[in-house]
Structure 1
Amino acid sequence: MSSVITRCSQFSSWLSAALAQENPLVPTPLTQHVNADVCIVGGGFTGLWSAIRIKEASPETEVVIVEARMCGSGASGRNGGFVLSLWAKYQSLAKMCGEAEALRLCQLSSQAIFELEAFCQQHGIDAQLRLDGWLWAATTTAQLGSWEGTASQLERLGQSPFLRLAAGQAAQLAGSALHLDGVFEPVSASIQPAMLARGLLRHARKLGVKVYESTPMQRLEAGSPARVQCPQGSVRAGKVILAMNAWAAQFADIRKAFVVVSSDVVMTRPLPDLLESIGWTNGMTISDSRMLVHYYRTTPDGCIVFGKGGGSEQLVYGSRLADKLDGPSGIADTVAAHLRRAYPGVQASDVISNWTGPIDRTHNGLPHFGALPQQANVFYAIGYSGNGVGPSMLGGRILAALALGQDNEWARCGLVQGLQRDFPPEPIRYIGGRLVRHAVGQVDLAADENRQPSWLMQQLSKLAPAGLSPTRNTPSQSR
């Protein structure tokens, strides 16, 4: 058991803690050739939810999951633990699939958070879920009003997922004077993400899903049935679901539709006295409105978890992700400095852990689902763009409907989108990405220093794909 934890500690403290609290079987790789109705590649939230929903709808369906490492070792076990709805991305949703469908999906995404709470209670999954809301904040004057376009449009439609705050209330809620203003979404939660992933794994197995960990896919052989070839075995399946997040970049058709950026996280030791003194004692999540977003929350035992999206200038060329964004963060000192700027009471020695991971970010910041071109029996899920814990529940229902050939509201929903070339081919993609990432960093730095960025940096930054929530520089907001 200790060797399993040691191998996985390179990914995140979340996964190490989750494994320490269970007594799992030693990861069992696939060592033979097997048949299945559905083979799912990837044992994170999307893959596990898809398997669960398939078995709930059709218990006789044979479902196999192959996971390259440990279930929860990818994005699902190293994210910040925010469980958010899609309301902040309403404007992008409405552009993509129309006003009525956007409203429906946003409402379903809020409902999913309550469903997650009930699911964990029903199946005995201790994911440390706390339904204490999300503060969408401004920490510089340049960020003020980033939420205004979204909130105002929703209010005109009779929707009010965001509560407007009185003067000084954002700082009071966050326990930090750095927070100048914001809006609050009550239907949001925080979780320990790896504990949720491992809980989903246990439930999937109870339903009869066969899970093979330490089993990377080496290649996908097209056909009906298709074949997922692994180092010591293979899965022959009528349907295949690629639930690989950023690692799906190995497929050229998928790669053109998203870019890979880093997410870097630091975590403190428990600081309950500090949190008590500043009044931040619940599970409320917080993010600011910069382009390279800062997101942070506390844990039940009083640690502060602080992350930065897209902060590293280490970009991925083509499909060469491999282990490039694994292990300790290369910008941990920078992230920790931002944490201490927001919470001066945190000392440098209080920061005891850090890690990094990849995010697959689509142009509009929304997840897309569908079938591969010319391979109608191979389905994909891409582009959670930093908001995947809650929306992956919708994703599981969508992919289950597609894999089962159902003609229902999930199979026809507005997130089912054909793959488009939203980003240029290499080497333009890599070179351009470096330029845009640099520009975004300069715009955020100028805002921190309360000065105006150069015109060129502003224009280049507008080419960046959307992130966790709209910013003042998001193209849909600035046009």
Structure 2
Amino acid sequence: MSVFRPWWFEQALIQETPAPAQPLTEHIHADVCIVGGGYTGLWTAIMLKQAQPDLAVVLIERDLCGSGASGRNGGCLLTLATKFLTLKRLFGEAEALRIVKASEDAVYQIAQFCREHAIEAEVRIDGTLYTATNTAQLGSMDGVMNELARHQSLSWAALPSQEVRLMAGSDQHLAGAFSPVGGSVQPGLLVRGLARVARAMGVTIYESTPMTRLIESEQPQVQTPHGSIRAKSVVLALNASMATMFPALSRSIAVVSSDMIITEPCPDLLKRTGLTRGVAVCDSRIFVNYYRSTVDGRLMLGKGGNTFAYGNRMLRSFDRPSRYQASLKQTLGRFFPALQDVPIAASWNGPSDRSVTGLPFFGKLNQHSRIFYGFGYSGNGVGPTYLGGQILSSLVLGLDNAWTRSSLVSGPKGYFPPEPIRWLGAHMVRNAIRRKENAEDHDQTASYLDCKLAGFAAAAGKADKG
């Protein structure tokens, strides 16, 4: 039986020729063992080797590096600026501003790293455009922008409606705000490139090597099917799987799919719409529609908030073509009538680790002094995982810096209800959101109950509603 590979990742395996996937077959020692070969794990490994080249760093991945969320997201390179109000409420003004600035710096640092290490990840720093596609969404960025402007930290600017339509390539947009900080990247090429660079720096990587057990002894031990690693420090970078593997974190996230389609190349049609740059476009729904063009003239379109996993299980449907392909194709045709007959090259989906706040969080597992974790990126991890690498490498090295003192390093800032309440509640809220936004799309007033229910999910949206 063949293994399903999302389209981005298939292309990356062709261009970033992988080394043979060698599993761990012995018992070894290391200074640091990182579990998980996605963005967070690889950035952490790279930053550790940059800081201390002699450090013995071992990374294990249950499949191939990047085969999880890192290699199958939409490739929108975003910042945490739109989360400023939540950051300020939770951590205070100064820390919120520092995190926003660091997340914006990360966009350029990722691009620079790719240039320096010849990672051809199609990084295009062409900005981010948040839009309103119905009158109810108008002004959704005002609160965030006003606060950032008050602190002279605003990279966003409201654009005239006609300019928004031209930049977005679609007449469906009524208004919008643009930031030059952001853009797009081929996510599979980025993560496979990071794995290549990590190996070149001396990180030992074992693929096809799942962790079967973590022994939380004084010197922790990671057990695998055919070997083990005893390490001075362990970093758990398992994304949504953290909630199923560790009971203490089981209610810290809700696992929900983000579903995507990508067209066959249609550069002439895209040129006609005006969508020829790498700008990442997101509307202002709670579960956003997002899209962007690719270097070879395709259009990728996705939507979050579709399939909720009971008990945060890794569902089989996460490793199959999206069951929402028809709905996504309909949305694509609504935004881009000229593209409605363009064949769809592929569809896929994957699990997103939605935290209560919509922000990632980091900490020590069960307060163990040498076992660290980070996840909860809530569908916005391409850029913020760079911060995750800074945080986790600083923790491992025992540094006293702004990252180890950050309020992000204090575990989850909220918990979802236990099952089955979480699963039932998630479906109630999701369906209320769909009814509410469908009414708004038709310039109708949504019901009071649907508005109240939809409010519970606002924190997990792409932007604070302010």
Tell me, yes or no, whether TM beats 0.5.
yes
Q: Secondary structure at the match of 2:319?
A: coil
How far residue 466 of structure 1 moved from its aligned partner, in angstroms, is: 2.2
Q: 2:362 aligns with which of 365, 369, 374?
A: 369
Match of 1:273 in 2: 268
Match of 1:55 in 2: 49
What is the CA–CA distance in structure 2 between the aligned matches of 1:53 and 1:170, rounded to whole Å? 38
- What amino acid is the match of 2:407? G
- What amino acid is the match of 2:49? K
- What amino acid is the match of 1:289? S
Q: Is the 8 A contact 1:11 1:74 kept in 2?
A: no
Match of 1:28 in 2: 22
How far residue 417 of structure 1 moved from its aligned partner, in angstroms, is: 2.0
The answer as to 2:332 corresponding to 1:304 is: no
What does 1:172-187 correspond to in 2, within 5 Å?
172-187=166-181
The answer as to 2:267 corresponding to 1:285 is: no
Displaced runs of 4 or more, over 3 A? none
Match of 1:255 in 2: 250
What is the CA–CA distance in structure 2 between the aligned matches of 1:231 and 1:444, rounded to whole Å? 47
What is the CA–CA distance in structure 1 between the aligned matches of 2:350 and 2:60, rounded to whole Å? 20
- What amino acid is the match of 1:124? A
- What amino acid is the match of 2:331? H
How far residue 324 of structure 1 moved from its aligned partner, in angstroms, is: 4.2
State TM-score, norm by structure 1.
Answer: 0.94
Structure 1 residue runs of 5 or longer lacking an equivalent are: none
Cα 1:183–1:319 shift into 2, 3 Å: closer
How far residue 317 of structure 1 moved from its aligned partner, in angstroms, is: 1.7
Q: Is the 8 A contact 1:175 1:280 kept in 2?
A: yes
What does 1:115-134 correspond to in 2, within 5 Å?
115-134=109-128
What is the CA–CA distance in structure 2 between the aligned matches of 1:400 and 1:433, rounded to whole Å? 34
The answer as to 2:82 corresponding to 1:108 is: no
The answer as to 2:395 corresponding to 1:402 is: yes
What is the CA–CA distance in structure 1 between the aligned matches of 2:277 and 2:412, rounded to whole Å? 40
What is the CA–CA distance in structure 2 between the aligned matches of 1:197 and 1:447, rounded to whole Å? 38
Q: 2:455 aligns with which of 445, 462, 476?
A: 462
Q: Is the 8 A contact 1:268 1:351 kept in 2?
A: yes
State TM-score, norm by structure 2.
Answer: 0.97
1:237-262 Cα offsets, whole Å, 9 max, x none, are: 12111111111112121222111111
What is the CA–CA distance in structure 1 between the aligned matches of 2:278 and 2:412, rounded to whole Å? 37
Match of 2:405 in 1: 412
Cα 1:193–1:397 shift into 2, 3 Å: same
Q: Is the 8 A contact 1:387 1:468 kept in 2?
A: no
Match of 1:153 in 2: 147
What is the CA–CA distance in structure 1 between the aligned matches of 2:441 and 2:161, rounded to whole Å? 21
- What amino acid is the match of 2:158? R
Q: Is the 8 A contact 1:307 1:335 kept in 2?
A: yes
Match of 1:329 in 2: 322
How far residue 235 of structure 1 moved from its aligned partner, in angstroms, is: 1.4
How far residue 468 of structure 1 moved from its aligned partner, in angstroms, is: 4.6
What is the CA–CA distance in structure 2 between the aligned matches of 1:406 and 1:17, rounded to whole Å? 39
**How much is the aligned-residue C-alpha RMSD, in angstroms?**
1.5
Q: Is the 8 A contact 1:265 1:305 kept in 2?
A: yes
Q: Secondary structure at the match of 1:353?
A: strand
Q: 2:184 aligns with which of 171, 186, 190?
A: 190
- What amino acid is the match of 1:373? N
1:397-425 Cα offsets, whole Å, 9 max, x none, are: 10001111111112112321223552111
Q: Tell me which moved more, 219-228 or 136-145.
A: 219-228
How far residue 126 of structure 1 moved from its aligned partner, in angstroms, is: 0.4
1:33-63 Cα offsets, whole Å, 9 max, x none, are: 1111111111000000000011111122211
What is the CA–CA distance in structure 1 between the aligned matches of 2:35 and 2:316, rounded to whole Å? 17
What is the CA–CA distance in structure 1 between the aligned matches of 2:149 and 2:402, rounded to whole Å? 26
Q: Is the 8 A contact 1:266 1:306 kept in 2?
A: yes
Q: Secondary structure at the match of 2:370?
A: strand
Q: Is the 8 A contact 1:11 1:356 kept in 2?
A: no
Q: Is the 8 A contact 2:16 2:193 kept in 1?
A: no
Structure 2 residue runs of 5 or longer lacking an equivalent are: none
How far residue 23 of structure 1 moved from its aligned partner, in angstroms, is: 2.8
Q: Is the 8 A contact 2:258 2:302 kept in 1?
A: yes
Q: 2:202 aligns with which of 184, 199, 208?
A: 208
What is the CA–CA distance in structure 2 between the aligned matches of 1:441 and 1:222, rounded to whole Å? 44
What is the CA–CA distance in structure 2 between the aligned matches of 1:42 and 1:465, rounded to whole Å? 29
1:319-362 Cα offsets, whole Å, 9 max, x none, are: 42254422211111111111111001113452121000010011
What is the CA–CA distance in structure 2 between the aligned matches of 1:17 and 1:398, rounded to whole Å? 31
Q: Secondary structure at the match of 1:292?
A: coil
Cα 1:377–1:101 shift into 2, 3 Å: same
What is the CA–CA distance in structure 2 between the aligned matches of 1:451 and 1:220, rounded to whole Å? 53
